Structure 1
């Protein structure tokens, strides 16, 4: 029993002495290398702050008209960002064209926006990137009067000309609705009619229901209140797109949506047969200077909010990275292949972002700092060795003076010099690896002192022999 206690005690003492020894070596290392370590630390902080600054806590996003579906979608994004500790300020606008102008202006605070594909010319836009498409925006054309038979081209043409000469809303200028309506009309050889009205979505719904207009283009999601209101009105007709394949070829940004019989209303059997609709897509666009961490956050919001199954889309279909019309952000390309950084799935956003930034900075920093730190022990040993050699040089000089011209009256003076030299040696902070050199110096000093104390003329040279 006593043997076990003794072993435990000795083990504890051994560990304590090892820790104490390592701590002493570490503190001595800090005392000697602190200038270099300070330079490295300042360099690390500078690189971390300026090369990879933290993301802003406030972001401005352009949506659409107040009360519109884009603004409602923006509110969902704002709630998602709030949970992550970021304030997403929503800026109501007149539509796609204004959103693009906000993003393209390098002095504008807007950093993100919802914009319909096809609502702008991508060749004239710079400084804007895409985080992908996040939803379908079907193109709805509701009208009053006799129903147009979609297989009768002549009747379609006649009805189209009737619309051109009647009261039809083609969406507010600058909006995605207006852009899509013009694409379709011009593709069929029509220009803007003299009686066209440029109403917002909600204004078009009210005017159409009251009979103030005969037709209205609306580009909005199936779930949008304006669309649901018009689909539920049995007095209105919906124009289908029997030549959807042709539109898709002419306008690559357009998508074909299939609607089965009775999908809008089984009670009314509406539509009465399978039809095809055309749809644009909503692009999530950003200022290309947006912080990568915020881009990942927008993509995560799109996955959570827009990635759910809907009437026209399957679960996980959005965000999609096809036919965006603008260059994709490198972050979006990374997200498409690898998803979000792993830490974002398990840690709060601010902590995951902080760790990612540290890793981003520390890896290249360590590539430079590690070799430097490896050289520090050798640098330290060289410094100590130079000090020891310097003291050896002083000792050698004393011995040379004694050999060349020893005067008994100077014995005490030289003994004092040797004592001071030994004191200088005692002040050296020597690592264990150089303990041999240290004690060799001490022995050499003591050897010269013993020679001085051995006789009256210990260093007098007679002939070629030295009397000791």
Structure 2
């Protein structure tokens, strides 16, 4: 009897607690919003879930989707246009990837940045220019190539730089313009605008044809003049971005991460003001990317359909 009781006690007392999760977050390049919010999320996961977290700086959307889909990262930031290609297995992806989402985060805005004293005065003036179309395997590169094709620009010399490198290259004359998709404001572009007179090129004429061609993943958006201290507002293309995850992530862990993001929204806002746009009622609008079942459970508990 004593031995039996001892076995029962040992069985309950000797069970090891579950190991803290080990997570990898794929963010973006230095000077971008993905990087700032990703670092803040990593800090929250370490302090609240006692997780071991590694943050990868990447080219952003396309690279992040490949990493998450192939198991090289657990969580990633990605634009919905790139994610739609990933789940379909369309180029630049070679097969359908098991990508789902925790939530829609905020809308990104296409920035086409040129010097105010440069040759490009509207989006139809890109022919013959040297442009940074974004880092290779980024969402920026995906949308930039669609824009270059959409306006029929010819003889464009492309180089592939992140936003901080693009800003520096425009300032020193290595390039004549650059593309970048991000929330508002983008720190590297705001810093550039304080040093060099810049112009943002309007792209709103492409929204309607892009909506038809690319399954309505793009939106009509406006960059207010005050964001970068420019003389006028700039109509442009918007694209939602998502916090993505591999569909095989543990259900309970996915739910806890989703809950933690909303519980800690104020702390994420301190990392970047775009986090103020994170709300449960808009977070579920991730079409055509399915929500992870753990995230679905959280939204159901919050009475969000």
Normalising by structure 1, report the TM-score.
Answer: 0.52
Count of equivalent residues: 284
Q: After TM superposition, where is structure 1 displaced by more than 6 Å over at least 4 residues in a row?
A: 147-150
CA distance in 1, matches of 2:26, 2:37: 11
1:60 aligned partner: 24
Aligned counterpart in structure 1 of residue 235 of structure 2, from 267, 270, 276:
276
The Cα of 1:209 is off from its aligned counterpart by: 1.1
Q: What is the aligned counterpart of 1:135 among 92, 103, 106?
A: 106
Give how far 1:328 is off. Answer: 1.4
Matched with 1:77 is 41
Structure 2 unmatched ranges of 5 or more:
90-95
The alignment yields a C-alpha RMSD, in angstroms, of 3.7
SS in structure 2 at match of 1:131: strand
Q: TM (normalized to structure 2)?
A: 0.77
Give 1:285's match in structure 2, choosing from 210, 231, 244: 244
Match of 2:163 among 201, 205, 209: 201
Rg larger for: 1
Listed as ranges, the matches of 1:209-248 within 5 Å are 209-233=171-195, 235-243=197-205, 245-246=207-208
The aligned counterpart of 2:64 is 99
Contact 1:201-1:226 at 8 Å conserved across structures: yes
| Mapping of residues 5-404 of structure 1, within 5 Å | 54=18, 56-66=20-30, 68-84=32-48, 85-105=50-70, 108-120=71-83, 121=85, 122-124=87-89, 125-144=96-115, 145=117, 156-157=123-124, 159=125, 163-190=126-153, 193-233=155-195, 235-243=197-205, 245-246=207-208, 249-250=211-212, 251=214, 252-260=216-224, 262-264=225-227, 270-272=230-232, 274-303=233-262, 304-305=264-265, 308=269, 310=273, 314=277, 316=279, 320-339=283-302
Unaligned ranges ≥5, structure 1? 1-26, 28-33, 151-155, 341-468
Partner Cα distance (1:236, 1:130) in 2: 36
Could you say what secondary structure the match of 2:291 adopts? Answer: coil
Higher strand share: 2
Q: String of CA shifts for 1:206-229, please: whole Å, max 9, x gaps.
A: 011112211110122223321212
| 1:70 shift after superposition | 2.2
User: CA–CA distance in 2 between the matches of 1:195 and 1:81?
Assistant: 42
Match of 1:411 in 2: none
1:97 Cα shift? Answer: 2.4
Cα offset for 1:109? 4.8
